[in-house]
Amino acid sequence: MDATSSLADKLASKTASSNSLDSSSKSSSLGSKQGAENGVLRDTPFAYLDGEEDQDQKNDVTYVCPYRGPVFGALTITNYRLYFRSLPLRDQEPPVVIDVPLGVIARVEKIGGATSRGENSYGIEIFCKDMRNLRFAHKQQNHSRRTVFEKLQWNAFPLSYTGKLFAFTHGAVSASWDGWSVYEPLAELRRLGVPNDMWRATKLNESYAICDSYPAVWAVPKAASDDILRRVAQFRSRCRLPVLSWMNPRTQATITRCSQPLVGVSGKRNADDEAYLSYIMEANAQSDKLTIMDARPSANAIANKAKGGGYESEDAYKNVEINFLDIHNIHVMRESLRKVKEACYPTTDDSKFQSVIDSTLWLKHLCCVLAGAVRIVDKVETMSTSVVVHCSDGWDRTAQLTALSMLLLDPYYRTVRGFEVLIEKEWLSFGHKFQQRIGHGDNKHSDADRSPVFLQFIDCVWQVSWQFKNAFEFNEYFLITIVDHLYSCRFGTFLCNTEAERVTDDLKHKTTSLWTHINSSLDQYLNPLFPASSDRAELVLRPIASTRIIRLWKGLYCRWNPGLCTPQHGCQRTRELLSKQDQLFKHVNDLRLKLINRIGNTQTTTRLASPMR
DSSP 221-270: ETTS-HHHHHHHHHTBGGG---EEEEE-TTT--EEEE---B--TTTT---
555 has a pLDDT exceeding 80 = yes
DSSP 217: -
pLDDT in tens, 435-475: 999 999 999 999 999 999 999 999 999 999 999 999 999 99
- Look at residue 566 and tell me if it is in a domain: no
Q: Which domain holds residue 130?
A: 4-156
140, 156, 172 — which closes off a domain? Answer: 156
Looking at the 3D structure of the chain, how many domains does it have? 3
Short-list 435, 403, 404, 374, CA closest to 165:
435
Q: Please tell me the predicted confidence (pLDDT) of residue 9.
A: 42
Q: 307 labelled as ligand-binding?
A: yes
- 323 annotated to a ligand binding site: no
Is residue 394 within 8 Å of residue 259, measured between CB atoms? yes
Residue-level pLDDT at 534: 66
Looking at residues 68-73, what average pLDDT do you find? 92
Distances in whole angstroms, Cα of residue 182 to Cα of each of 202, 424, 515: 20, 8, 8
pLDDT at residue 117 above 50? yes
pLDDT > 50? residue 136 = yes
DSSP state of 474: B
Domain identity same for 390 and 252: yes
Mean pLDDT check: name the lowest of 93-102, 249-258, 390-399, 460-469.
93-102
Co-location of 503 and 603 in the same domain: no
Q: What is the CATH number of the domain that holds 87?
A: 2.30.29.30
pLDDT for position 540: 97
pLDDT confidence tier of residue 570, bands split at 50, 70 and 90: low
550 is annotated as contributing to ligand binding? no
Mean pLDDT throughout 548-571?
A: 84
- Mean pLDDT within 85-110: 89
Same domain, 230 and 286: yes
545 and 588, same domain (yes or no): no
Whole-number average pLDDT of the chain: 89
Query: Residues 254-292: pLDDT tens digits?
Result: 999 999 999 999 999 999 999 999 999 999 999 999 999
Predicted pLDDT of residue 567:
56
pLDDT(226) > 50: yes
Res 457: pLDDT: 99
Indicate whether 351 and 462 sit together in one domain: yes
What are the pLDDT digits (tens) for 202-220?
999 999 999 999 999 999 9
- From the list 67, 61, 9, 10, the residue with the least C-alpha distance to 345 is 67
Examine the domain organization and report whether 146 and 186 are in the same domain.
Answer: no
Name the residue with higher pLDDT: 15 or 121.
121
Of the candidates 307, 218, 327, 330, the residue with the CA atom closest to the CA atom of residue 261: 307
**344 marked among binding-site residues:** no
* Residue 497 in marked binding region: no
Which residues have a catalytic role annotated? 391
Strands 133-137 and 54-65: antiparallel
pLDDT of 30 strictly over 50: no
Give residue 512's pLDDT band: very low, low, confident or very high (50, 70, 90).
very high
Which of 124-128, 133-137, 170-174 bottoms out in mean pLDDT, i.e. has the lowest?
170-174
Residue 165 lies in a domain: no
Does 495 share its domain with 590?
A: no
58 is in an annotated binding site: no
- Which residues touch 592 (CB under 8 Å, ≥6 apart)? none
In a 3-state reduction of DSSP, which class is residue 39? helix
In a domain, 406, yes or no: yes
pLDDT at 419 over 80: yes
For residue 175, being part of any structural domain is answered with no
What is the pLDDT, as a whole number, of residue 244? 99
Same-domain pairing of 253 and 324: yes
Phi/psi of residue 507, nearest 5 degrees = -60, -35
pLDDT at 118: 72
391 is in an annotated binding site: yes
Judge if 545 and 593 occupy the same domain: no
Residue 314, beta-bridge partner list: none
Give the bridge partners for 127, in sequence order.
Answer: 107, 133
Q: Is residue 369 included in any domain, yes or no?
A: yes
The answer to the question of whether 305 is labelled as a binding residue is yes
Q: Write down the pLDDT at residue 94.
A: 84
pTM here is 0.88
Residue 33: predicted pLDDT: 37
Whether 166 and 490 have beta carbons less than 8 Å apart is answered as yes
SS3 of residue 327 by DSSP: coil
Confirm whether residue 111 is marked as ligand binding.
Answer: no
Q: Do 186 and 51 share a structural domain? A: no
* Domain assignment of residue 163, yes or no: no
The answer to whether residue 516 scores a pLDDT higher than 50 is yes
> What does the alpha-carbon distance between residue 94 and residue 332 come to, in Å, rounded to a whole number?
42
Domain-terminating residue out of 156, 171, 191: 156
At 47, the pLDDT band (50, 70, 90 cuts) reads: confident
Phi-psi region of 441 (alpha: psi -120 to 50; beta: other; left: phi over 0): left
Calculate what percentage of the chain has a pLDDT beyond 90: 75
CA–CA gap between residue 110 and residue 123 (Å, rounded): 6
Stated length of the chain: 613
Q: Is residue 162 part of a domain?
A: no
Boundary of a domain, candidates 156, 190, 208? 156
Q: What pLDDT, on the 0 to 100 scale, is given for residue 95?
A: 87
Question: Does 567 map to a domain?
Answer: no
Average pLDDT over residues 72-78: 94
582 and 540, same domain (yes or no): no
Residue 240: CB partners within 8 Å, gap ≥ 6? 211, 213, 214, 233, 258, 259, 393, 394, 395, 431
Shared-domain flag, residues 139 and 267:
no
Q: What percent of the chain clears pLDDT 70, i.e. is strictly above it? A: 87
- Mean pLDDT is lowest, of 124-128, 604-608, 609-613, for 609-613
pLDDT tens-place string over residues 338-352? 999 999 988 777 889
**pLDDT, position 35:** 36
Whether 32 shows a pLDDT value over 60: the answer reads: no
E-strand ranges in 263-421 read 290-294, 320-324, 386-390
Label residue 568 by pLDDT band (50, 70, 90).
Answer: low
